[in-house]
Structure 1
Amino acid sequence: MYAVIDRFEGSFAICQKDDGEMINIEKSRIPFYAKEGDVLSLSKDKVIIDQDETGRRKTKIEGITKDLWE
């Protein structure tokens, strides 16, 4: 399952799953260098940043928004 970090509030990362559901993940469970927009791969035992998926989504968003500013 994947979730994107929307924001940080206190000791939680507020994340949006692919189905749109918002979930709270304790900061202590995610890598300390995680930032807003990172895609997390979630399993029972661990949470990791999926660098490939984060990059794909960032590139897609940049392509969409590029036309807005030109």
Structure 2
Amino acid sequence: MGENLEVFIVDRIEEHSIVCENSKGEIISICKNQVEGNPKEGEVLIKGHNKYHVDIEATKQRKAEIEELMKGMWADE
């Protein structure tokens, strides 16, 4: 990810907006017409050139980090 890009995590999808958390932990709402494609909950969005789009690599990395944190959480190890 570029250093100057704004990064958001999709929290939930509503009728006309996508509710996200920014890097400061603030919840914001983005109009769906400002987002390319159909992002899903938990995916990473970046803003560039006045549009938002899913950052596939950042989403994969985030998912892997969460899976690593969850290892052994409920299993008796």
- State the TM-score, normalizing by the size of structure 1: 0.89
Q: Gapped runs of 5+ residues in structure 2?
A: 1-5
Higher fraction of helix: 1
Q: Distance in 1 between matches of 2:44 and 2:32?
A: 14
- Tell me which structure has the larger Cα radius of gyration: 2
**Cα-Cα RMSD:** 1.2
The AA in structure 1 aligned to 2:61 is R
Identity %: 33
Which residue in the other structure is 1:9 paired with?
14
Whole-Å separation in 1 of the counterparts to 2:20 and 2:49: 16
- TM-score (structure 2 length as normaliser): 0.82
1:3-41 Cα offsets, whole Å, 9 max, x none, are: 000001220100000110111001122133210011001
- Runs of 4+ in structure 1 deviating by more than 4 angstroms, as ranges, are none
Q: Structure 1 unaligned segments of length 5 or more: list them.
A: none
Determine if the alignment matches structure 1 residue 59 to structure 2 residue 70: no
